[in-house]
Amino acid sequence: MPTADDTSLPAAEVAKASIIVEDVSKEFRIRRTHSFKETFVEWLKGRDVRPNHFRALDDVSFTVNEGESVALLGFNGSGKSTMLKLMSGVLEPDTGQVLIRGRLAGLIEVGAGFHPDMSGRENVYLNAAILGMQKDEIDARFDDIVAFSEIEEFIDQEVKHYSSGMFMRLAFAVAIHTELDVLLIDEILSVGDGPFQEKCQAKIKELSAAGKTMVIVSHDQDLVRELTHRGIVIRQGKKVFDGPTEQAIDAMLAG
Ligand SMILES: Nc1ncnc2c1ncn2[C@@H]1O[C@H](COP(=O)(O)OP(=O)(O)OP(=O)(O)O)[C@@H](O)[C@H]1O
């Protein structure tokens, strides 16, 4: 992982930065056909079977300072989730770099680390450990995690018997109770029913008030207005606006 020494930004800017995204581009290969056999047949016919490259992000740069809450805005397919995955380290940029200071928690693929044959309790320990917590830290927060998820009676059941809502509640509760400096959130605020969503939003506001850095992807404009002060608009992989949230929403809609 690159460090803050690898950036060409001025030292004063780096000092207050929590996230630095510098000249980042990312391409995906798109296959023209679905199987090897189809590709082979196309090739025999003399057709071009090389994969197309699709540029999901094109030379994007921005800095998020410590304690800022920023929304990534854009229509479907503009590159927001790809950007979050680059920040979380799930994906590597083709060019450029992403620098993060501090402990990062991503509410991106919530529950991805959950094991269906293990109980809720075992999964809490497993996932909190994956997110970087020590056993004694998890012990100390276990009751809060379970209380937040509101699935106390089912905590010793295997999670394969959970409803999808119960599963997401527990996964969200674990992620949000980890020791973190930077939180990445991708559309996760649609987890669970109305009251649970409100609780999640309140928790996110609490973390923000405590000075945590947040990057949020959501199509819910009211939520974005409420949780962030700044918006970065991405259109077809390019950053087209970076400024106050309300103006960013206007810029996105004008696109
Ligand atoms: N693994 C992948 N392989 C190929 N193409 C991909 C891959 N991941 C994303 N893409 C493409 O990159 C583009 C950007 O996708 P991304 O998920 O970042 O968009 P988004 O802005 O988050 O969209 P949405 O609002 O629909 O979630 C899309 O055209 C998508 O099809």
From the number of C-beta atoms within 10 Å of its C-beta (0-12, 13-18, 19+), residue 45 rates as exposed
Which of the listed residues 57, 60, 78 should we mutate to test ligand 1's pocket, taking the one with most ligand atoms within 8 A of CB?
78
* Within a domain: 148: no
CA-angle at 79, arms to 127 and 199, nearest 5°: 45
Rounded distance between C-alpha atoms, residue 34 and residue 49, angstroms: 11
Q: Tell me, what CATH number does 33's domain have?
A: 3.40.50.300
Rounded distance between C-alpha atoms, residue 174 and residue 188, angstroms: 13
* Within a domain: 237: yes
Q: How far is the CA of 185 from the centre of ligand 1 (A)?
A: 16
pLDDT at 111: 62
For the cut 80, the answer to whether the pLDDT of residue 188 exceeds it is no
* Helix 135-149 / helix 164-176 crossing angle, nearest 10 deg: 140
Q: How far is the CA of 149 from the centre of ligand 1 (A)?
A: 30
* Within a domain: 176: no
* Position 74 confidence tier, pLDDT thresholds 50, 70, 90: very high
* Position 191 confidence tier, pLDDT thresholds 50, 70, 90: low
Range of the domain at 23: 4-102+219-254
* Within a domain: 158: no
* Within a domain: 141: no
Residues framing ligand 1 (Cβ under 6 A): 28, 30, 54, 56, 74, 76-82
For the cut 80, the answer to whether the pLDDT of residue 6 exceeds it is no
For the cut 80, the answer to whether the pLDDT of residue 32 exceeds it is no
ipTM of the complex: 0.95
Q: Which atom of ligand 1 is nearest to the CA of 72?
A: 21
Verdict on whether the full-model pTM lies above 0.80: yes
* Within a domain: 74: yes
Q: How far is the CA of 95 from the centre of ligand 1 (A)?
A: 18
What is the domain count for the chain? 1
* Within a domain: 86: yes
Strands 69-73 and 213-217, how do they pair?
A: parallel
